[in-house]
Structure 1
Amino acid sequence: MTSEYEPTTADSSSSSEAIFEDSGSDGAQDLSDVTATPVALSRSNSSSSVSYIDLSKLLLLSDFDFGLGLDQVGDSTKKRFNDMKKLTKDHISRLKLERPSRSTFLSDSINLTVGKNKELSKAQEVFIHRLSKFDQRINANLQSSATEKLFYALAVFTIAVSGFIIGKYPEWFHIFYTGLFCLLMPIRFYTYFKQSFQYYLADLCYYVNLLLVLFIWWFPASPTLFVSVFSLTMGTLSFAVITWRNSLVLHSIEKTTSSFIHIMPPVTMFVIVHELPESLIKQRFPAVASIESWDFVNGILWTSFYYTIWQVTYHYFITIKRKEKIEKGRVTSFSYLKKKNANKAIGRFVNSLPYNWMQITAFTLIQFGYQILTMIFCPIWFKYKHACGAFMCFIFIWASYNGATYYIDVFGKRLDKEVERLKREILELQEKKGKVEEKDLTDINNDKLNVEKVAEIDKDKVTKVD
């Protein structure tokens, strides 16, 4: 670097030579002249004039010589300084590329620990969320909605009103039954169509209820219809409470409706036959008054006639007309019974038949045989009032017992399932947390070892560079 206040190298050297030549001829005069005349500064090519070289200044501020005149050193000295500078830079670059610095490892370790803490916090949040869902499921299973509570109260009230009407105003009971039928059936139709269970509405129990309504309001003078309705209600519908396990669950509209369509028709026939005055029976239901004794064979024939009408209609409109939809997954009582009884002897027999029409025929004959079997007691129920009343009480108690079983066992099993599910979730979270903590300890130890190794490597490399 050339400053405007300093002479160039050529000027300073020529001036120096002239001064020393004049001093040889006249020393005193020359010395005074030298003292009086300003002397120009000179620089040497030797590196011995530099007493100390700051390496950091050479590396960081290479263009500033701090007044030491380093920019005028010789070429060989500059080359050595440049080589040293380049070597040091290469060393530092290799260290950065080979392994991160200690601060980088420490920051990575801190970030890893923070990440693990976030994982633990997330696991705790998941556990709290699952516990909250468990509490919601328990409350949903143990608590009923406002509609169910209201229906429970109405169901209890309906049972009380039914007993009051039977004892005080039996002539109004068939009207009471018809009102309940017109109220509950639209609800059943709506819920079953919504759940894709509409093919169940073609079952025998709904057909018998329809026959009873026809007998009460349109054909009260038909002895054949009365015999068929009495046989079907006291036979198939009553025993279906036992075989189909109808449950009187008062808060459930669905289960209470199922109990209604199986219990109320035989109770209505019991009231018409045994509780109404004879004068009213002759006037209102002449078909009942026309039968003095029960003809068992005649009852089987007429009942079989009405039963055949239902069975043929059912298989034509459901099994044949709706075959494609049934194959796609729509449920019918026939497909349900085949699946339910698949492991029983009768189910294995029906399912073993090679063709579908054979299975349908076998199912129809078995159902018809079940109907004939349940009709055996109809002469007793028709002749003896107290026996028929006791049988009705037995059916009602059986349905109530099934309802109590539902409340105690089903709700209890649901609660047990929820508790077991929560236990499994807690164990899974504990195992996950233990694995995370174990991994954290291992990672922390590994991080410490890595930091120590990096510190040793850095120390060794710095020593070699020095």
Structure 2
Amino acid sequence: MLEVDLNIKEDSTVSLMNILEFLDPIASKVSTRYYQGHKRVLSRNDLREKIRNGNKKLSELTSKEKVEEWKLKVLERIKHLDKTLDSIFFKNSSTLEKAFYPFTLFNILSIGFIMGKFPEWFHVYYTLVLFFLMPIRFYTYYKIQSHYYLADLCYFVNFLCLLFIWQFPESTSLFQSCFAFTFGSLAWAVLTWRNSLVIHSIDKTTSCFIHIIPPTAMYVIFYGIKDSYREERFPGAMASKTSISMKSNIIWTSFYYLIWQILYHYFITFKKSSKIKSGQRMTSFEYLTTHQFKDFWAAKLPSPIPMIIYTILQYFYQLFTMLLCSIWIRYKKLALFFLMSIFLIAAHNGATYYIDYYGKTFKKEVDKLKIELELLQQELNDKNIQINYLNIELDKESSNSIITTGSTTSIAGSYTD
């Protein structure tokens, strides 16, 4: 289109110059020079445009090469880091567990100290520890092909808590939903999933942390800090003290729950269904239907009926545990007693794990030693029997040889006589 317009302009200019030739020859020369200069400018612009296009293509090529080089460097670093982390978390796990044991004790001590002395800093401590533990959880779960567990509700609720703390502290609906989720599904999961406070285990301690510390953080924000600081830092929690609507809380909590379910079923249930069905990946639903409730009648129904039943039951479970939060959000002492009970249950599960696991392991070792001793005793008895049998045989042979010798002597004496 630009070339066509320029040609039209050229024809009109030349026809005008033909008319001016009869009027003023000087004007004709000036117009001709102007037009020729204009054409030169256009040709230079075209040349510049070509140079620019060439430079763009060259820069694109160089940028692609740089991106590829950067990818290779990142992959090499990741491989090197993976070897290091693999040796730490899987090959030298005993050394790591010895180091993690005092960390867990220090963490428990710090939680109690910060809650009592510096409650306004507890949400910061919760965030720091969460950002420390979650990369470890992701890496270890990814290495054992269990990273689909990271899409469960407990991780989504921790994400909502971070959203409230750092992004939307003025949201009353978000705070009440976080309070309901943490004191509901997360806290009660310690009972249903038997979370164990095994102090040396990173996996079990992290599971306890993501289920117990979020409701503790909500408790500190709602009950532990001063009203002046709460009103300034967490106005959403301050507003919840004056106006609590159970109806709106159920609606908002159900809304966030629906968001999680949609995201979960889209990205996990449907998009990753082939890997889940082939057994390459494990989810909470697959674990329950293949291990804990494999003989349950609903698990034997054709797909997707078990998943639908599981989703509905999970929602009603979440709704039931959330309704109890109307007690925890009104009575501070009952909320504190509930948190202490959840912590003690996790500690009891951990003690049971230590006694049952190590006790059973020790008993197995003792039983194994008993069996080995019995086998050795049996071998010794067999050898003694063989030795006794050989002794008897030797005695028989010696007695037979004596008898034979005596008879030979007597025969020889008779011949002599």
- Equivalences for 1:4-153 in 2 at 5 Å? 145-153=94-102
* Residue 291 of structure 2 is aligned to residue 340 of structure 1: yes
* Residue 301 of structure 2 is aligned to residue 350 of structure 1: no
The separation in 1 between residues aligned to 2:343 and 2:335, in whole angstroms, is: 12
Of 137, 155, 159 in structure 2, the residue corresponding to residue 188 of structure 1 is 137
TM-score, normalised relative to structure 1: 0.61
Per the TM alignment, residue 172 of structure 1 is displaced from its structure 2 partner at its CA by 0.3
**Matched residues, number:** 307
Of 413, 419, 429 in structure 1, the residue corresponding to residue 360 of structure 2 is 413
Per the TM alignment, residue 273 of structure 1 is displaced from its structure 2 partner at its CA by 0.5
* Residue 111 of structure 2 is aligned to residue 162 of structure 1: yes
Of 313, 330, 333 in structure 2, the residue corresponding to residue 383 of structure 1 is 330
Of 249, 253, 257 in structure 2, the residue corresponding to residue 307 of structure 1 is 257
Q: Letter of the aligned partner of 2:282 in structure 1?
A: V
- Equivalences for 1:359-374 in 2 at 5 Å? 359-374=306-321
Q: Letter of the aligned partner of 1:186 in structure 2?
A: P
Residue deviations 1:270-294 (CA, integer Å, cap 9, x gap): 0001111112112111111222232
For 2:277, the equivalent position in structure 1 comes to 327
Of 364, 370, 377 in structure 2, the residue corresponding to residue 423 of structure 1 is 370
SS at match of 2:232: helix
Task: List alignment gaps of at least 5 residues for structure 1.
Answer: 1-143, 453-466
The separation in 2 between residues aligned to 1:447 and 1:208, in whole angstroms, is: 85
Q: Letter of the aligned partner of 1:351 in structure 2?
A: A
- Equivalences for 1:416-455 in 2 at 5 Å? 416-431=363-378
Residue deviations 1:244-279 (CA, integer Å, cap 9, x gap): 111111111111111100000000000001111112
The separation in 1 between residues aligned to 2:208 and 2:252, in whole angstroms, is: 26
Per the TM alignment, residue 436 of structure 1 is displaced from its structure 2 partner at its CA by 6.5
The separation in 1 between residues aligned to 2:293 and 2:394, in whole angstroms, is: 63
Of 346, 360, 363 in structure 2, the residue corresponding to residue 399 of structure 1 is 346
Q: Letter of the aligned partner of 1:204 in structure 2?
A: L
* Residue 235 of structure 2 is aligned to residue 286 of structure 1: yes
The separation in 2 between residues aligned to 1:287 and 1:399, in whole angstroms, is: 30
Per the TM alignment, residue 434 of structure 1 is displaced from its structure 2 partner at its CA by 5.0
Larger Rg: 1
Per the TM alignment, residue 224 of structure 1 is displaced from its structure 2 partner at its CA by 2.2
SS at match of 1:401: helix
Per the TM alignment, residue 427 of structure 1 is displaced from its structure 2 partner at its CA by 3.0
Per the TM alignment, residue 448 of structure 1 is displaced from its structure 2 partner at its CA by 12
Given that 1:223 and 1:287 are in contact with CA atoms closer than 8 Å, whether structure 2 keeps it comes out as yes
Go from structure 1 to structure 2 and tell me whether the alpha carbon gap of 1:270 and 1:441 turns closer, same or farther (over 3 Å shift).
Answer: same
For 1:119, the equivalent position in structure 2 comes to none
SS at match of 1:399: helix
* Residue 126 of structure 2 is aligned to residue 177 of structure 1: yes
For 1:246, the equivalent position in structure 2 comes to 195
The separation in 2 between residues aligned to 1:294 and 1:171, in whole angstroms, is: 23
The separation in 1 between residues aligned to 2:390 and 2:145, in whole angstroms, is: 57
Given that 1:342 and 1:348 are in contact with CA atoms closer than 8 Å, whether structure 2 keeps it comes out as yes
Identity of paired residues, percent? Answer: 48
Of 229, 239, 246 in structure 1, the residue corresponding to residue 178 of structure 2 is 229
The separation in 2 between residues aligned to 1:327 and 1:439, in whole angstroms, is: 60
SS at match of 2:339: helix
Per the TM alignment, residue 339 of structure 1 is displaced from its structure 2 partner at its CA by 2.8
The separation in 1 between residues aligned to 2:396 and 2:278, in whole angstroms, is: 65
Given that 1:246 and 1:258 are in contact with CA atoms closer than 8 Å, whether structure 2 keeps it comes out as yes
Residue deviations 1:123-163 (CA, integer Å, cap 9, x gap): xxxxxxxxxxxxxxxxxxxxx94432332212111111111
SS at match of 1:393: helix
Q: Letter of the aligned partner of 1:380 in structure 2?
A: I
Q: Name which of structure 1's ranges 295-304 and 174-183 shifts more when overlaid on structure 2.
A: 295-304
The separation in 2 between residues aligned to 1:441 and 1:202, in whole angstroms, is: 71
The separation in 2 between residues aligned to 1:444 and 1:316, in whole angstroms, is: 82
Residue deviations 1:184-233 (CA, integer Å, cap 9, x gap): 00111111111221111111111111111111111112222212211110
For 1:318, the equivalent position in structure 2 comes to 268
Go from structure 1 to structure 2 and tell me whether the alpha carbon gap of 1:293 and 1:432 turns closer, same or farther (over 3 Å shift).
Answer: farther
Given that 1:293 and 1:383 are in contact with CA atoms closer than 8 Å, whether structure 2 keeps it comes out as no
Task: List alignment gaps of at least 5 residues for structure 2.
Answer: 1-92, 401-417
The structure, 1 or 2, with the larger RCO (C-alpha pairs under 8 Å, 6+ apart) is 1
Higher helix share: 2
The separation in 2 between residues aligned to 1:147 and 1:236, in whole angstroms, is: 31
SS at match of 1:249: coil
Go from structure 1 to structure 2 and tell me whether the alpha carbon gap of 1:442 and 1:410 turns closer, same or farther (over 3 Å shift).
Answer: same
* Residue 160 of structure 2 is aligned to residue 208 of structure 1: no
